[in-house]
Amino acid sequence: MKKYRSVIIQWMGLILVILIFGIWSGGNLFSKYNLNSMIITATPLLIACLGMSFIFAHGGMDISSGAVVALASLAAVVTMNGSGSLLLAVIVSMLASMACYMVNSVITNKFGLMATITSLSIMFAARGLVTYICQQTPNESISIASVDVTLFKKNYSFMVLVAVIAILVLTVVFNYTEIGKGAKAIGDNSRSAGQNGVPVDRTKMTCYAIAGLCVGIAAIFKLCSTGMVQSTTGTGMEMDILVVVVLGGMSLSGGVSTKISSAVVGTFTYVFLVKGMTIIGLNPNIVVLIKALIFLMVIYITAQRNTLKTIPR
């Protein structure tokens, strides 16, 4: 009972957000357009957050996702325009994103750098590359040419389907395989995990690869909904992901208390919250401010809780 208390609180929070804004907006929150719009926002965010949970679980941190989305989108759009194949573009996007995350993981683990710092440099490198390439084009952006991307852009059932599959598959991997369990053990005590036979470096690498895969998929959805890549593509995604997971009650310090359901409930809460605030006509700058406040608040609460965790000596 106690174990699930925090989970219940998060879901209750979501329901509360839906109820408050549902009523406040006079039901407008549930209009067809708004629901569809929320599906478009939620799908890539949810998939990225699910993947990132693996990084957070082992005590890692990543702020490069926005820039990686841009880079993966760029790789995808170039592939798409070059080959005319959507499938190939999806694969290229996933590979590009995975490559970024693998580099991140290797640098972090082999050279013992702080994960945040490594991801910061990946962020600058990826963002810089995208900006440079975009500047070489006449429109300072590269658009999807003749490929039909309706599937990723307007097919809402497809989006929900992909999201549901992602939730199911990643939940299983997270909870019922050596990868997820190992990641959590590493997050709690990497020394002990290692001495108990968890392959620490390999598990971390796998986690980053999973995160990369997910961010790559998210990038395709984002690319298709905007139709183009430019230097600003994906900006702010990394912050959105952090807000989502903390809203979902994920402890960013990693370990067994990391629940992948945080990504799910967090995404829904975030999307409903932001949409709700927009509908009731809050100034967009205030919406950003509130996002920041929520982030700060949840981090504070999480930090408070974490100090209770006695660190073994």
Partner 1 sequence: MDTANVILEAKGLTKRFGEVIALNEVSLQIRTGEIQGLIGENGSGKSTVSSIIYGIHSPSAGEMLLKGKPYAPKSPLDARGHHISMIVQEKDTIDMLSVAENIFLGDEGRFRRGAFISVKEMYQEAEMALRKVGLPQLDAARPVGELDFETRKLIEIAKALYYKPELMIVDETTTALSHDGRMKIYEIMRQLKAEGKAVLFISHDLPELMEVCDSLTVLKDGELVTTIPKEEFSEGTIKRAMVGRTLAGNLYRTDYGNRLTDQVAVSVDHVSTEVLKNISFSLHNGEILGIGGLSGSGMHEIGKVLAGHIPAREGTVKVFGEKLQGIAHALKLKVGYISKDRDVETLILNESIQDNLTISAWSMLKKGKFFILPRDEKKFARVQIDHLKIKCSSGAQLVRELSGGNKQKVSFSKLIGNKSKIMILDSPTRGVDIGVKTTMYELINNLKHQGHAILIISEELPELIGMCDRILVLKNGRITGEVKRHKNLKDVDVIDFMI
Partner 2 sequence: MKKRVLAILLMVMVVAGLLAGCGASNKAGNDPADVKKVKIGVILYNYTDIQGKEIKNYCDNYLAKEFPVTFEYQTAASGDNEAHLRAVDALISTGCNAIMSGYDTVIGETMEKCDSAGVYYGILFGEAKNEADKDGKYNSYGNWGTTEQSNLYYSDYFLGGIYQFGSDHGYELGKTYGQAVVDAGVKKVGAISFPAYAFSDAIVICQGFTEVLGQAGVEICPDEKTGGLPAEAGFISVGDDTKAYIAKYTDMDCIFGLSSGMDMVLPAINEVGRLWSPSNTGTGSLKLASLGYNDSSAKYLEDGTLLIGGTNNYVESVAYLFTLMFDAANGYNMKTAEGSGFEYNATINYPTFSNMEELKDMETYMLTTVNNDFTKCSVSAQEIKSVLKAYGGSGAWSELSGLVSRSVAEIKEARQ
Residues near partner 1 (CB under 8 A) are 3, 172, 175-178, 181, 184-185, 188-189, 191-199, 255-257, 309-310, 312-313
When the beta carbons of 81 and 306 are compared against partner 1, the nearer one is: 306
Q: Which of partner 2, partner 1, none lies near 91, with the C-beta cut-off 5 to 8 A by kind?
A: none
229 vs 48, 142, 189, 274, 286, CA distance in Å?
Answer: 18, 5, 41, 24, 27
d(CA 61, CA 115): 6
d(CA 203, CA 54): 10
When the beta carbons of 173 and 193 are compared against partner 2, the nearer one is: 173
Q: Among residue numbers 13 through 42, which ones bind partner 2 (CB under 8 A)?
A: 14-15, 18, 26-39, 42
Is residue 284 within the footprint of partner 2 (CB under 8 A)? yes
Ramachandran angles phi, psi of 3, nearest 5°: -60, -35
3-state secondary structure 78-144: HHHHHHCCHHHHHHHHHHHHHHHHHHHHHHHHHHCCCHHHHHHHHHHHHHHHHHHHHHCCCCCEEEC
When the beta carbons of 70 and 207 are compared against partner 2, the nearer one is: 70
Is residue 112 within the footprint of partner 2 (CB under 8 A)? no
Cβ(286)–Cβ(267) below 8 Å? no
Amino acid at 302: T
Q: Which of partner 1, partner 2, none lies near 85, with the C-beta cut-off 5 to 8 A by kind?
A: none
* CB of residue 196 to partner 1, shortest distance in Å: 4
Ramachandran angles phi, psi of 251, nearest 5°: -85, 125
When the beta carbons of 135 and 192 are compared against partner 1, the nearer one is: 192
Residue 24: how many other CB atoms lie within 10 Å: 14
Binding interface with partner 2 (CB under 8 A): 1, 4, 7-8, 11, 14-15, 18, 26-39, 42, 81, 138-141, 143-146, 148, 153-154, 156-157, 160, 163-164, 225-228, 230, 232-235, 261, 264-265, 268, 275, 278-279, 281, 284
